[in-house]
Amino acid sequence: METNVNTVDYAKKKDQEDHLAKYRDEFYIGDKIYLDGNSLGLLSKRAEHTLMNVFNAWKEFGIDGWMKGDHPWFYMSEQLGEKMAPLVGASPSEVIVTGSTTINIHQLVATFYKPTKTRYKILADDATFPSDIYALKSQIQMKGYEPAEALVRVKSNAGLLDEKDIIDQMSDDIALIFLPSVLYRSGQILNMEKVTKGAHKRGILIGFDLCHSIGAIPHSLDAWDVDFAVWCNYKHINGGPGAVAGLYVNQKHFGQEPGLAGWFSSRKDVQFDMSHDLEADVNAGAYEIGTPHVLSMAPLLGSLELFNEVGIENIRKKSLELTDYFIELIDLNLKQYDFSIASPLEKDKRGAHILLEHVHAASICKALKSHQIIPDFRAPNFIRLGPVALYNSFYDIWKTVDTLKNIMKTEEYKKFNNTRDIIA
């Protein structure tokens, strides 16, 4: 039996033993090795099918598509919320597919951030995605405070956060906490249960951005008693560019007026009474705002069918095997070329991607792309490699590391400018 992990035969043997390998054929991959699923997932045939199904309903029914067809548009956000609930460990009524990540941050922070004279600060971190900070600063300003004083950011160390540091900064003047579940650069998983307990012990509401964890790791939002969460659906969920996002609100908060009310915040049974007095839905639907983007939700019907068929626990199991294999091959082949791994090595702290650091990261990414291997560059000098359990193989991992080794050995990367493209 082949036991040398550094050979192509070993990688191919692992693929033969992989119970999820058959799902690779569900996706449009072509001849490339696609390792950017943590930024934009690939199109699946099921997502294509449900998109065309909904598109044809528009063709056939016109406005009656709101209530007719296989997936009536009026209830599609709720239908998708029910399909997504198992991925976040929630009841169907607590999840809704709506808006975008940033819109949903604005909505839920506007709802739950209720500053007082003595408790008016929001606790975040300095390693989170910029959009989250933009939204938090905006909400603070709209409540009449200065972000420089009212936004507290826990400092990371080499792109990693310590849960103890987060809890230590939960002071009496903190009104709300908003953190990432998985850090977008390093791929570190925060211990959401531990941090949530720390917040509630101090009477603070807490929410999470699940953009880099949804569809990649299991969640237990209800069991952890998280107050709210938001996420996008175009990364691991493979919902397509600009796919409609999702949000979660713990049912203990049902009945609150949404911070940002709109047409679809209404109870469905009275929405078309056209009253100017909102009767907000008594579930996550209360936090919808405008008319749903039906054609941008349609691919999720097919994509989520895949997730519910495979199971998030099985996806996580293979994801860890892929990133473990990456780490092993990197250690064997790339350390001599001054690569370093900036992601946590511990399985319980590592999300679904590996972060490599190298001074020539941008040019190395361009060299990889010239070999039809698609990575993701992050400034100033990071390469994100995000294998997706549903469509990446162990051979993909072996071939990527082998190609990286040859790029460095031959100094092929020097042919490319070490600067990011407009979209990195």
Binding site members for pyridoxal 5'-phosphate = 101-102, 129-132, 209, 212, 234, 263, 291
DSSP assignments along 310-339, one per residue: H-HHHHHHHHHHHHHHHHHHHHHHTGGGT-
> Which residues define the annotated binding site?
101-102, 129-132, 209, 212, 234, 263, 291
- Rounded to 10°, the helix 8-16/394-409 angle is 160
The phi and psi torsions of 313 (rounded to 5 degrees) equal -65, -40
- Residue (of 193, 190, 128) closest to 165 by Cα position: 190
* DSSP assigned state of 412: G
The identity of residue 172, as a single letter, is: D
Residue 123 · residue 154 · CB < 8 Å: yes
The identity of residue 174, as a single letter, is: I
Cα torsion angle, 98, 193, 110, 211, sign: negative
What is the separation, in whole angstroms, between the first and last Cα of the chain?
Answer: 41
**Distance from C-alpha of 244 to C-alpha of 233, rounded to nearest angstrom:** 7
Where b means 16+ CB within 10 Å and e means fewer, 316-352 reads bebbbbbbebbbebbeebbeeeebebbbbeeeebbbb
Name, in order, each residue with C-beta under 8 angstroms of 421's C-beta and a sequence gap of 6 or more. Answer: 377
Burial class (CB in 10 A: 0-12, 13-18, 19+), 399: middle
